[in-house]
Structure 1
Amino acid sequence: MKKYSILLYYCYTHIEDPEQFREAHHVYCLENGILGRIIVAQEGLNGTVSGLREDCEKYMHDLKADPRFSHTEFKVETHDTHAFQKLHVRVKSEIVHSGLQHIRPQENTGKYVEPEEFKQMKDSEDVVLLDVRSNYEHQIGKFKNAVTLDIENFRDFPEKVQELEKYKDKKIITYCTGGIKCEKASAFLLEKGFSTVYQLHGGIIKYGLEAGGEDFEGKCYVFDNRIVVDINKVNPAVISRCYMCDTECDRMINCANPVCNNHIPVCENCGWKMEGACSEDCKEHPEKRPYDGTGYYQKQTNGYNPYKGLIRSK
């Protein structure tokens, strides 16, 4: 059995003093062996973290013991090691940047569809599956026949809604990686007059864990050192092609040039040939990072001080 767990979670709830919470939560994670990225805002909490299995069990128990986070749902995956090398707990204006700060999903959002129900609904003629993720995410993997939007970041979603007018008489099911973007995307669609809006509860990850991932084509982009993960255990398919040689490829890297950092599918041969770069210019860039075959680049940990930024010393 793998010793580590990776937790993906979010919770829309009111946090009166995000900075105070951030500091206390940061210390808690350090004392309990939790690494990863956590965003704190007045509207709630959003995190992807990793740790030893028992430490993650404690983390989930203790977080849910706080009444503000008692309804938090965790997507749990196993891993051989930590998926992160650092801990970052940051305060931001939103737990996912959308520009829709007026929307409160805990008050009004699309109806949840659980994975097994989604599996039954997804092929109906009156249903439209709407991917609300960014281009680089849905290009490496998406649900069969899903509608995708040309967006570089989720904050671009609101201006694309006008393109969906032709689906107003359909049942729209939004989906994303873990569900957090759909909370606001589905609420915004309701605000814009779409009458029948659902969201895949727990996102692609939960659908893979609980329903086998049927009809999710390709792989799912994740925000840790795995970059992409397998979802479909029923009828997997590859939908992306190598950025360099155009062969079938569901392996993804970040360009080794940090100024570019392009997210692209690249086969193993081209990855090594180009030293992890997406172009000759990037390959020759003076700041190009050493390529180790993964295409994931953790920021340098030299001099990393996990207590940096804390108001109160441990």
Structure 2
Amino acid sequence: MAKYQTLLYYCYATIANAEQFAADHLKFCKSLNLVGRIIVADEGLNGTVSGTAEACKAYMDAIYADGRFNSTEFKIDDVDEPSFIKMHCRYKSEIVHSGLRDPNIIDPKKRTGIHLEPKEFMEMKDREDVVILDVRSNYEHSLGKFKNAITLDIENFRDFPAMINQLAQYKDKKILTYCTGGIKCEKASALLLHEGFPEVYQLHGGIIKYGKEAGGKDFEGQCYVFDNRVAVEVNSVNPVIISKCYNCGKTTAKMINCANPECNEHFTQCDDCGDVMDGCCSDACKEHPRKRPYDGTGYYVKVPQQVNLNKKAKVEFLEELRPVSC
């Protein structure tokens, strides 16, 4: 039996004085010897934490004891070792960065797409009047996605609103949105409804819950996760690998970060090319003076970087090499 667990969760709930809550919550998590990353915002919580089964239970009990977070649903994975190295809990403007901050337009606490349980999603997804929409980033759906799903050419979820016009052709269809754990769909489905899409649904609990409760049927490839596991298996019914090595094109399920911290590109790379390229996406990155040692995993902890004050848009990216997302 695995000694540790990893919890994936989010909750949209109003948090007064969220900055102070984040500081206090960090102390609480450290008191339980948990590791992970949590984002706290005025609109709620978004986190992945890992620790002993006892510590994880104590954490979940504490979350539920706080009446603001009663709707939280934890996705629980048994793991052989903690999925993080350190514990971070930070205040940010949103629990998933979308740029959609006007509560008169988007407020997941008031209006989102209809939530479908995994078996409902599985039954509905192949109908002729249905379109399956992946709202995740390129590097995520390149590793794995639902069969026949529409994917968007976006680097971050904040690029999603700009894609709405490209989706207008599907307004006469039922739109089934999905993401890793459900958090992005809350805002994506709300925006689609606001833009006049009449029937919008979302996979409750995301890909992770679908794998646990529906066997992951027709999810092709692996699911990218935001911890040092990098990717997890989802489909135990009809699994296939769809991702290709960035360097040679060979089929591979291995997703890594470029060993050059100033690139840090998410990409798939087979073991052979990993050895040849030393975990880098290009020869230029391989020769970069700040290249990190490649240990075969492609996962790296935070590396201090010089911040260019004239490029504030990059500050948030450099803050975490792997942002928390569900």
Length-normalised TM-score, structure 1: 0.95
Q: Which amino acid aligns with 1:49?
A: V
Structure 1: segments with no counterpart, 5+ residues:
302-314
C-alpha separation in 1, matches of 2:172 and 2:255: 37
Check if 1:198 corresponds to 2:212.
no
**Is the contact between residue 39 and residue 91 of structure 2 (CA under 8 Å) also seen in structure 1?**
yes
Task: Give a deviation string over 1:93-133, Cα, whole Å, max 9, x none.
Answer: 10000011122101000010000111101111111100000
Partner of 1:18: 18
Query: Given the alignment, which residue of 244, 264, 269 partners 2:267?
Result: 264
Partner of 2:45: 45
**Is the contact between residue 23 and residue 90 of structure 2 (CA under 8 Å) also seen in structure 1?**
no
Check if 1:132 corresponds to 2:119.
no
Check if 1:3 corresponds to 2:6.
no
Deviation at 1:299, TM superposition (A): 2.3
**Is the contact between residue 114 and residue 200 of structure 2 (CA under 8 Å) also seen in structure 1?**
yes
Deviation at 1:209, TM superposition (A): 1.0
Partner of 2:83: 83
Q: Which amino acid aligns with 2:3?
A: K
Task: Give a deviation string over 1:140-171, Cα, whole Å, max 9, x none.
Answer: 10000000111010000001011111110111
Check if 1:234 corresponds to 2:221.
no
Task: Give a deviation string over 1:247-273, Cα, whole Å, max 9, x none.
Answer: 111111100000111111111111111
C-alpha separation in 2, matches of 1:247 and 1:26: 43
Q: Which amino acid aligns with 2:82?
A: H
C-alpha separation in 1, matches of 2:54 and 2:129: 44
Check if 1:66 corresponds to 2:66.
yes
**Is the contact between residue 261 and residue 303 of structure 2 (CA under 8 Å) also seen in structure 1?**
no
C-alpha separation in 1, matches of 2:272 and 2:54: 39
Query: Given the alignment, which residue of 131, 147, 150 partners 1:147?
Result: 150
Partner of 1:172: 175
Partner of 1:117: 120
3-state SS, counterpart of residue 101 of structure 2: coil
Alignment RMSD (CA, Å): 0.9
Query: Given the alignment, which residue of 254, 261, 272 partners 1:251?
Result: 254
Partner of 2:317: none
Q: Which amino acid aligns with 1:232?
A: N
**Is the contact between residue 258 and residue 280 of structure 2 (CA under 8 Å) also seen in structure 1?**
yes
Deviation at 1:300, TM superposition (A): 5.7
C-alpha separation in 2, matches of 1:237 and 1:202: 22
Structure 2: segments with no counterpart, 5+ residues:
305-326
3-state SS, counterpart of residue 198 of structure 2: coil
Sequence identity (%): 64
Partner of 1:95: 95
Count of residues paired in the alignment = 301
C-alpha separation in 2, matches of 1:106 and 1:151: 25
Deviation at 1:210, TM superposition (A): 1.0
C-alpha separation in 2, matches of 1:20 and 1:244: 46
Task: Give a deviation string over 1:169-215, Cα, whole Å, max 9, x none.
Answer: 11101000000000000000000000100000000001001110000
Partner of 2:318: none
Q: Which amino acid aligns with 1:76?
A: I
C-alpha separation in 1, matches of 2:146 and 2:155: 19
**Is the contact between residue 256 and residue 297 of structure 2 (CA under 8 Å) also seen in structure 1?**
yes
3-state SS, counterpart of residue 73 of structure 1: coil
Partner of 1:312: none
Check if 1:222 corresponds to 2:222.
no
Task: Give a deviation string over 1:23-76, Cα, whole Å, max 9, x none.
Answer: 211111010111110000000000011011111011011111100001100011
Partner of 2:162: 159
Q: Which amino acid aligns with 2:108?
A: P
Query: Given the alignment, which residue of 209, 213, 216 partners 1:210?
Result: 213
Q: Which amino acid aligns with 2:64?
A: K
